[in-house]
Amino acid sequence: MIQRIRHYIAIIRPLNLLIAGITQALVFFIVIRPELLAHDISPLLMGNLIFWFIFCMICLAAAGYVINDYFDTVPDRINKPMKQIAAKHISLSATLQYCFLLNILGILPAVYIAFKSGTAHLLYIYPLTAFLLFLYSWKLKHLSLVGNLMVSFFCAMVPGILWFAEKDNLSLLVIASESSGIFIEISLFFYTVFAFFSTFIREIVKDIQDVPGDLMVGSRHFVIRAGSVVSRNLVMALMMILLASIVLFVYFVVFFQDNILTIVILAFLFMIFPLLWSGYRFYNAKEPSDYQHASNDLKALMGGGLLFLLLIHLIDKI
C-alpha cells in the first residue's frame, strides 16, 4: 500500500510541482505584492486567494504529468524503463482516473477565485489549460517543434499567469509610480521570456536524448525530422539569443539600481555562467547521459534566473 502511494506521488513529479509553486509564491510576495501595497493598491490575489491560485496551478500541472505518462508508456519503456510508472506500477485506467481527479481539484478552486475576485476571465484559463495539456500529450508533442513550444509556453505561464492576473493593478502602479511600475513590468516580462526560451532549449536537448524511444512510436518531432546536426546548431543559436537577452536585461536593470557591480556579479553567477557551462557541456555531448547533464544544467539555470529576479527586487530593501 505504501509503495503504491509512492507511485501515485512520483508520477506527478512532486519536486517540479514544489519548484513551480515556490516560484509563484516568491514572485508574488517579493516582486509584485510589496510594491502594490507600498502605493496603496490592493492586489487582486489578496488573503487566501493567492494560495488557491497556486493550488490550481499545481493540480493542473500534476494532471499534465499524469496524462503525459499515460500516452508515453511505449517510449518510456525504452528511454527510461527504470522510471516508468504508468502501465507498470499504476494501471492505465487508474492513471486516467487520477488525471481526471487532479483536473477537477484544479478547476473547482478557480470558480472560488473568480467569484471572490470578480474576474471571470481567470475562470476560463484553467479548463483551457487542462484541455491543452491533454492535447499536447495526445498529439501535439509528436509534431515538429509544436510540442516544444507548448511546453515552453506552459512553463512561461508559471510567472506569466501572475502577471496576467495582476495586470490591471500593475497598470495602476505605473500611474502611481512610473519607475517602480515599469521596473516590475519589464522584470516580469523578462522572466517570462527567460522561462520560455530556457525551457524551449531544454526540450530540444531532451528530444535529442530521447530519439531512440521516440522513433519506436513513430514520433516526427523536430529533432527526428531535421537531424542531430541541425538540432544541435539550433540549440547553440538559441543559447546565444538567450545570452544576449540576459545581457540586455542586466543593462536595463542598472538604470533602476545603484549597486551596478553587485548586479553584474549576480547576473554572472546565477545566469551567465550557468548558461555558458550548459552550452559547453552540450557542445561536447555525444552520449544520452551527456545530454542529460546538459538538460540538468539548464534546469539549474532556470532556478538561477528566479534567484536573480528576486535579488534585484530585494537588494534595495536589505
Residue 67 has a pLDDT of 87
Three-state SS letters, the chain = CHHHHHHHHHCCCHHHHHHHHHHHHHHHHHHHHHHHHHCCCCCCCCCCHHHHHHHHHHHHHHHHHHHHHHHCHHHHHHHCCCCCCECCCECHHHHHHHHHHHHHHHHHHHHHHHHHHCCHHHHHHHHHHHHHHHHHHHCHHHCCCHHHHHHHHHHHHHHHHHHHHCHHHHHHHHHHCHHHHHHHHHHHHHHHHHHHHHHHHHHHHHHHHCHHHHHHCCCCCHHHHHCHHHHHHHHHHHHHHHHHHHHHHHHHHCCCCCCHHHHHHHHHHHHHHHHHHHHHHHHCCCCHHHHHHHHHHHHHHHHHHHHHHHHHHHCCCC
Residue 217 has a pLDDT of 61
pLDDT of 316 over the 70 cut? no
pLDDT interval class at 25 (50, 70, 90) = very high
272: nearest Cα among 198, 202, 186: 198
Q: What percent of the chain has pLDDT over 70?
A: 92
Cβ–Cβ < 8 Å for 45, 166: yes
Residue 59 has a pLDDT of 93
pLDDT of 300 over the 80 cut? yes
Residue 82 has a pLDDT of 67
Render pLDDT for 215-251 as a digit per residue (tens, 0 to 9): 766 667 788 888 888 999 999 999 999 999 999 999 9
Cα separation, 165 vs 122, in Å, equals: 7
Cβ–Cβ < 8 Å for 307, 270: yes
> Cα 63–127–192 angle (5° rounding)?
80
- Domain spans of the chain? 2-314
pLDDT of 255 over the 90 cut? no
- In the block, cell 541541425 appears at 230
Residue 280 has a pLDDT of 94
Full-model pTM = 0.86
Residue 133 has a pLDDT of 84
How many other CB atoms sit within 10 Å of the CB of residue 260?
12
Render pLDDT for 175-198 as a digit per residue (tens, 0 to 9): 998 888 899 999 999 999 999 999
Average pLDDT, the chain: 86
